[in-house]
Structure 1
Amino acid sequence: MLFKSILIAGFLCIFIIGVCANALVILLSLKPGGNTNVNVNVNTINTYIVNMAGADLLYIFGCLFYTLTNYNQDGWLFGDIGCRLILSIDVLTMHVSVYILTVMSIERYVAVVHPMLSLKYRSVCFARLIVVVIWVSALVLASPMVVGMALTRVHAGKGSMKNTCAWTLNGEDSLSTYMISVFLITFAIPSIIMVVAYLLLMAHFCQVKSERSGSQQVRRSKRRVAQIVFLVVLVFWICYTPFWVYQLTVLHVENFDPKQIVGLIALVISYLNSCVNPFLYTLLPKRYNVWQKMRKQSSFSAPKYRLTGRPEVCDSL
């Protein structure tokens, strides 16, 4: 009971920190007049950041629903419609957040290794197109949850019953197929892409170091980008691996009867990713603080700022 209370407190802490952090990022990003005083690089990053923060904000609200449900002895509190919509939004926002992280990892790789190619595709219009594709694909991926999930009554022990959300579409086989699909699309494939991006960045950095090409500032900037991409990949794995190990084990290992607390721990850790993301992606551009200052001063009609420096340096930040 004590451990469960600690987990619920963890849910609430993640909810408060995640909502505040992501909401703050969105407010800073959407501050009126900011876009007129920043360059294309910052505007492109801003497009990804706003959408990822929005997805993380929606995902974090799942903490509140699960916390209230775990406090309630009757189980799920939000009815059949809430069961379908809330769990669908969980899948949708997880997909959006993960794939924007993936796109940003690719974008960092291209900016460092192929700066001229990066300039060709780095535009707000292109970034918005990518974001639209991600949201639409997320809607498609989450749609089976709307149809498959339903509110049901199950035995809770000692002759009592409680409400729970359960998959009711074509039995366990269809659930297994769907969960494997979600696992591949929202974890396995993004993991591979982010790891490849990081390894290619490291290979490029080692080559640059051996050739001693470019200024020390350029090499230091590229090394910083490689470190941040590695950090993004590491946090992604730490947060989502326990969740997917638990989900796939429950589905595919016979006679596996885990305690509810194990699933709750895995769920808490998965929500941590959306809580940590705002702090991670404010590190991605080295001059993100400059960007914040530009947005702050833009409302006072401050003179225009410009991120200066050699092209390969700016493109890698």
Structure 2
Amino acid sequence: MQFALPPRKTPIAPPYARSSRFSLQRRKQFKAVAILSFALLVVFFLLSQLFYTSTGTAAVPVGTPDVVIVTVLDRVRFSEGYTQKIVKNREDYAKRHGYTNFFANLSDYETTLGDAPKSWAVVPAVRHAMASHPYSQYFFHLDAHALIMNPIKSLDSHVLEKSRLESLMRKDVPVVPPDSIIKTFSHIQPQDVDIIITTDNEDMSPGSFVLRQGEFAKFFLDFWFDPLYRTYNFAKAETHVLDHIVQWHPTILARLALIPQRVINAYSKDSSAAGADGTYKEGDFVIRFVGCDTDTKRNCEKEMDPFYRSWVGKTKIE
């Protein structure tokens, strides 16, 4: 006969004895850690709002100029008087519209250029300006042998505003005149544009152009300044390289707006290669004395002088 065994007694461990004093101490520690963690999160949030916008991009410091005017000066070759006239012209314009200037010295880039023509200095100068003004949005390169003749026109209203740029953009036209088989895109919109430039009757004209700050701008300048291009011995150096890369690299063409020459790049009557409607007329935004520094029969200072005096007269009237 089998007898049911009594159920096995499971030993019961005595409850974990926590002293009320120890429990209170632990609760205080947890509370302190929670408060500290919350405080750190608040500080982190406030700092993130201080340095970053809600889109995750760096916030623009108060007082940052929207436009930087880039001018490369050859202080060795040209007189101090001539250089100061150019500087005064740019400073007056920048002050009127809340812009700023970046005056680069040609001599600063001679080591970088090596044996390449000095005209290449425009590229590292603009790159330098972008690095010096990381929060500014637009960089307006204007050749030193040029004057801003209509200072009341802001670059914003004259070129950059969306509706204005839309009206200026030349679509489905040869990139390089007169008959390049590569044409500007017909579908490009103002918000897609990072490069604003003109052509004369032969080439693109980098003596006056606008570049928008951003990763594409850095890529574009670095690509344009590639050592292979600089050593290839193009007849017109950086100008012919620009013609080449814009025509054969659609990534660049897709970010480019071609606008009428006289809008930002009118040539003086003594300058050859002006487009069909590219010669300066009274009231135009700028005048450039293209070739005055390379043609032995011309003199930049003499050519500029009457226009400088005219500009000074306008500023006094205002």
TM-score, structure 2 normalization: 0.29
Relative to total residues, which structure has the larger strand share, 1 or 2?
2
TM-score, structure 1 normalization: 0.29
Please say which structure displays the higher CA radius of gyration. Answer: 2
Relative to total residues, which structure has the larger helix share, 1 or 2?
1
Higher relative contact order at CA 8 Å, sep ≥6: structure 1 or structure 2?
Answer: 1
